[in-house]
Amino acid sequence: MTITGTRTTLRLPAAPPQRPPEGGGLLMLLPALGGLGSVALVAGNGLGSGGPMRLRSLLAAGLFLLVTVAFVVLQVERQVRRRRAHAGQSRDDHRHHLARARQSVVRAADLQRAEALDRHPAPATVVAHSPDPGEHLTVRIGVGTGRLGLDLELPEPIPGQPSDLAAQLALERFVEHHRHVRDLPVAVDLAETGDLVIDGPGEAARAVARAWVCSAARIDPARLRIAVLADDAEAFAAWEWLKWLPHHGSPTDRDDVGPARLRATSLQDLLPAAGTHHLLVIDERRPAPTSPTSGPATTIRPAGGPVAGATTVSTGPAARVRRGGADVTPADFRPDTCDLATATASARRRAALVPPSGPGDLAALLRGSPRMHLRVPIGTGIEGAPVHLDLRETAEGGHGPHGLVIGATGSGKSELLRTLVTGLAMTHSPEELNLVLVDFKGGATFSSLGALPHTAALITNLEDDLTLVDRMHDAVAGELVRRQEVLRDAGDVARVTDLPRGGQAVPSLLVVVDEFTELLVTRPDLAELFASIGRVGRSLGVHLLLASQRLDEGRLRGLESHLGFRIALRTHTAAESRAVIGSADAHELPPRPGAGLLATGPGAVTRFQTLLVSAPEPRRTVGRTVLPFTSAPVRDPSSNEHVEPALLERVVAEARHRAHDGRAARRIWLPPLREAPELPRLLASVPDPGVRRLPVGLVDLPRAQRHAPLLLDLAGAGGHVAIVGAPRSGRTTLLRTIGEALAASAPTRTRLALVDLGGGLTRLARLPQVSSCVGRGEPEELRRLADDLMAEAARRRRDRANDPDLFVLVDGWAALREGWPDVEAALAGLAQESLSFGIHLVLTATRWADLRLPLRDVIGTRLELRLGDPVDSGHGRARAAAVPTMPGHGLTPDGHPFLAAVPGEAVSDGRRP
């Protein structure tokens, strides 16, 4: 229990010192002694004379005596007046200093009382304040006298110099009178108080309880729920007014007039709401009062039954406060009271100040807000007004193009991101806004949003396949380059907003990256991409929103200055909250999903509750009957319930329906190549295929944002082909694909000779273009084929005429080198000059080291599949290690990923490499 007030110190003026006694008493006696001597001399001379001389002597002596006595008296009186004047001046000065100190003390007391009453106003005036979400769970229970917020410090006495007694007494009376302040609110912390028992007559106790409940209504309904437990109708009627308070509504249950009111005859019927404190008004006459069994709760018991360990407040003129049997009554304590009419009026006005407890309706807020580019509501504020996020430049009145969202697990971060994207999709067409949605973990955050026509890229599950991270980097970087080229082609325009109308449309692009902190742990180089967006995104119309559960400031280096706004949901620690918004407020948010703070600048922080868009919406259709609003459940017999799909689902479905007219975002992200293309379809998609344009697969070009046919030019220096890959990497299949592609695209200009040392080329033997096919078990035929090739080369060397190109396909060069070194040497030697007369060598090998250097030098087309050891790669270890393990994946001579096509025969057999 506390009497509110803060502590500072006021040093009081010291009492003046006493004036020490003045010396010189002997000096005052000297004239008197001289006068007395003169009197004695004159009187002695006169007594010795006679006649008139004697009379004159006695008169002169008497005159001397009178003057001497008068002089002494006047001197003493003069010194007394001087002492009194000096003491009076010192005391007047001290009283003047005390008067100024009194003014300071009175002002401090008035300010202390005003501040305390502002935090804990009287029940009759509590309606003037809206709930404070940062308010602690403190409730005013009355008023009393408390210590002044100023510590009145008395000066230390000076040793050997006593103070003036009157001034010192005045100083002590000043301190005694002003050290306390009357009529300060007395408050209790509900988090530390279990039971509050009111000891007094029934109606008087209820008046006190009503005042306490009105004070508790200042607390955010998200943090405090007020319930009533009673055992008779009369008690329920006494608390009927609570129905107007939002705190009295259930966060989960509803009836036909709104949230179900929290009232019951048994505690088991009141299920606690997660993350909230319960204030239970137990108005029972049972012999054994009900006690809370679990969950954070405080009880107010106007019935007055004894409860062990409770804080008991007695009513009446001599009100007392006892806790655990000890008297802890503040001085001059008076408990608050509130009549039923005042409590009802307070509750009804409070209902108008507190926003509804539901999550809000995004569609309704959009209908009630003016439409502005890149500005959407993301939640509702403390007063129920919409809180908007504006992605425009600060110079245009927005919050900035780039921002940050931090929220712990369960804080509602994913729902906030979905709400933002949904709102933007509802207010912008794909021609105005495109989306890039990146989720490092899983994909639940954006899984439903990939079908939006605004979505240019949906990239998920990066944690499971880190190669996707590199593709994402290339895709986003490629989009930045493309937009820069558009500006350059338009005449070096500075910004996309300045592009001339009627030209190429460049919509705004919002890049949302969820769990960016873990993404940067995996790929630190992505920080440079984010910083690049921060630098050039403003002119290119690219906006960046980074979201994560935790914040690692070190990984934001180079990007902090570009973040125009920051959103903090509930954080794990106070330090994280300070790192995000500069204060610990986010750590103190209630543990309710969606509660957050929007910081748009120094000191500009707005509290909001996120709108809910991804949950189905239960609806109740009521009839035309006028229903009463009571604390008891209200049901309309003519009503019926149904569940509508989530707003997000409805928005996606409507947007997809509108997209049927062709309005959709330009895709900047294509999924990785997973399914091998079929060779017949690939050949049909390439105009004029042949030796110069031989399609054998698809190339993945994420930076160019497309998949392109892998075209081999075998007419020039690239006429010899080497396919290198580990076992089961798809070497033989790719060799067959090349053979079938040659036969299909240039049937009259192609001849094939097959050396099948792996057993996979026999399927090509049926082609009419195949002149010979030699297997591992035919050594003599293999040597004869080598001799024939040498003879053919000699003939063509003499007279090429119009002979078709001859392609020698060797599957298993390492086996040829090991088993038939003479044949290997002959073919390697032939390859040095055979391209000039139309003889090509197409081979497969396990490693590049299987090819001798002279042969390797004349291989113009090198197709590298997955290697057994990435160190052997000609494209670098990192790129080779990123090649998927699925057969057919590899790297082109330029280092781009590709996926080989499957031969037509394999397609017809239903097989994949």
407 labelled ligand-binding: yes
What gap in Å lies between CA 439 and CA 716, rounded to an integer? Answer: 46
- In this structure, is the dihedral angle defined by the CA atoms of residues 234, 240, 241 and 242, taken in order, positive or negative? positive
Using only C-alpha atoms, what is the Rg of the chain? 48
For residues 702 and 669, the answer to whether their CB atoms sit within 8 Å is yes
User: Sheet holding 565-569: strands in order across?
Assistant: 386-390, 375-380, 604-610, 595-601, 565-569, 402-406, 542-548, 508-514, 433-439, 455-459
What gap in Å lies between CA 253 and CA 34, rounded to an integer? Answer: 112
347 labelled ligand-binding: no
728 labelled ligand-binding: yes
What gap in Å lies between CA 145 and CA 314, rounded to an integer? Answer: 17
125 labelled ligand-binding: no
For residue 725, the one-letter residue type is G
732 labelled ligand-binding: yes
160 labelled ligand-binding: no
For residue 338, the one-letter residue type is C
- Of 862, 902, 869, the closest CA to residue 883 belongs to 869
44 labelled ligand-binding: no
Residue 365 buriedness (CB in 10 A; 0-12 / 13-18 / 19+): buried
What gap in Å lies between CA 545 and CA 162, rounded to an integer? Answer: 73
413 labelled ligand-binding: yes
What gap in Å lies between CA 113 and CA 106, rounded to an integer? Answer: 10
What gap in Å lies between CA 54 and CA 867, rounded to an integer? Answer: 155
What gap in Å lies between CA 874 and CA 634, rounded to an integer? Answer: 77
Q: Which residues are catalytic?
A: 515
For residue 565, the one-letter residue type is F
For residues 754 and 772, the answer to whether their CB atoms sit within 8 Å is yes
Residue 78 buriedness (CB in 10 A; 0-12 / 13-18 / 19+): exposed
408 labelled ligand-binding: yes
DSSP 180: E
For residues 391 and 383, the answer to whether their CB atoms sit within 8 Å is no
- Of 839, 827, 844, 813, the closest CA to residue 735 belongs to 844
Residue 502 buriedness (CB in 10 A; 0-12 / 13-18 / 19+): exposed
725 labelled ligand-binding: yes
878 labelled ligand-binding: no
**Residue with structure tokens 């007419």?**
715
Q: How far is CA 342 from CA 241, 348, 434, in A?
A: 10, 10, 55
729 labelled ligand-binding: yes
639 labelled ligand-binding: no
218 labelled ligand-binding: no
For residues 605 and 581, the answer to whether their CB atoms sit within 8 Å is yes
DSSP 618: E
Helix (H), strand (E) at residue 183: strand 180-189
409 labelled ligand-binding: yes
Binding residues: 407-414, 725-732
Binding residues for ATP: 407-414, 725-732
